[in-house]
Amino acid sequence: MTTNTSSNPSVTGVILAGGKGRRMGGSDKGLLNYQQRPLITYAINTLKPQVDALIINANRNIERYQEFGYSVIEDSLDNFCGPLAGMLTAMQAVDTDYILTAPCDSPRISSQLRQRMMEAMLLEQADLAVAHDGSRLQPVFCLLPCRLQADLEQHLQQGGRKIDLWLAEHKMAVVDFSDQADSFTNFNHPEDVSEHPLQSTSPLPLIGFAAFSGTGKTTLLRQLIPALNNKGLRVAVIKHAHHKFDIDVPGKDSYEIRRAGAQQVLVSSSNLMALMEVQPAELLEPVLADLIPRLNTSMLDLILVEGFKHEVLPKIELYRPSLNKPLLYPHDDNIIAIASDEALSNPVQIDQLDLNNINEMADYIDAFITNWTT
């Protein structure tokens, strides 16, 4: 196989779903529902934008995996020889320079996986790259050149099965993901799927606003952000949109370039920068775990979240009794305070705020930041 020596090598993403799932009671882990979605869809949605092509390595339920719209390859070796067999099969099947591998049972794969792995490998002039979570190596998250196909095949034919031993035979770039250690969370037991919500971790204080439509979340943010700025806080906002939207307009150069087929368009001036990225058509719903790393957190003190009410993060519920809607609390354990424009008829066991008192709400969030960092 020839290897592209250009400065932009091609990469195929490989989702490893070929195991027996012994610790999962024999269940096919990639097809288990997690928060109403098959586990493998999280890996698909995160890897697809990062790679030039995507394939699934599976040895069971082939037709079911094919329904996700990608090529499914079975191990070329018999008897479930582990992730190395899936990697070898992928190398044999693709025509790209590299494969980027990740397991099907990790719902929080980093959106920077390819970028960091490729940069580290090229910088260190290594043969391959492997992720490290700050505590230990994560060998199924690796970037492998397809030119090692014959070497890997020989290793397997000689009875080698341990992935870390084969990786160690080559010059390896160990890539630091200690700031995203939770991106290697994986599920091995049945209770993991039902008992572990997909938490939204952040290097900064993160607080959301939950409410029914029409309560005034955006109006509140427009008033609250200046009050937080007056306290010297640098604020970012992540907002969930329930419909298609566009931040550009027809006729503008950036709009026309994107419509022509560019997957990313970065527009910058002396006072503003905007990145427009085309999401894959099969993306179901955005998740905070993918969005937070896209922020330049070194320039921020706080992230406010509008929407994403089903995610696990501290939230303030906005409540207007006049709308005749039920409280989200106590059905959402992540609500830490209720901000209402009227006194609540029934007492609650969490903090209560005046929705019309912006300074009080700013003080509450300022105290939340202090408690978050200590």
Boundaries of every domain in the chain: 11-195, 206-240+286-373, 246-280
pLDDT number for residue 130: 98
Give 5's DSSP letter. Answer: -
CATH class of 206-240+286-373: alpha beta
Looking at the chain, list the stretches that DSSP marks H as alpha helix, in order from N- to C-terminal side: 39-47, 62-66, 83-93, 113-124, 149-157, 163-168, 190-195, 217-230, 253-259, 288-291, 358-373
Amino acid at 272: L
CATH class of 11-195: alpha beta
pLDDT, tens digit only, all 374 positions of the chain: 333 444 589 999 999 998 765 555 567 888 888 876 788 988 998 899 899 999 999 999 999 999 999 999 998 777 666 899 999 999 999 999 999 999 999 988 998 999 999 999 999 999 999 999 999 999 999 999 999 999 999 999 888 878 999 999 999 999 999 988 888 988 866 666 655 555 556 778 999 998 888 888 888 999 999 999 999 999 999 888 766 666 776 777 777 777 777 767 777 777 777 777 776 554 556 777 778 878 888 889 999 998 777 777 889 999 999 999 988 887 887 889 999 998 887 777 889 999 999 999 999 999 999 887 54
pLDDT number for residue 90: 96
Residue with tokens 């890539």: 175
Q: In angstroms, rounded to a whole number, what is the distance separating the alpha carbons of residues 228 and 172?
A: 46
Is the distance from CB of 303 to CB of 204 less than 8 angstroms? yes
Record the pTM.
Answer: 0.59
pLDDT number for residue 209: 92
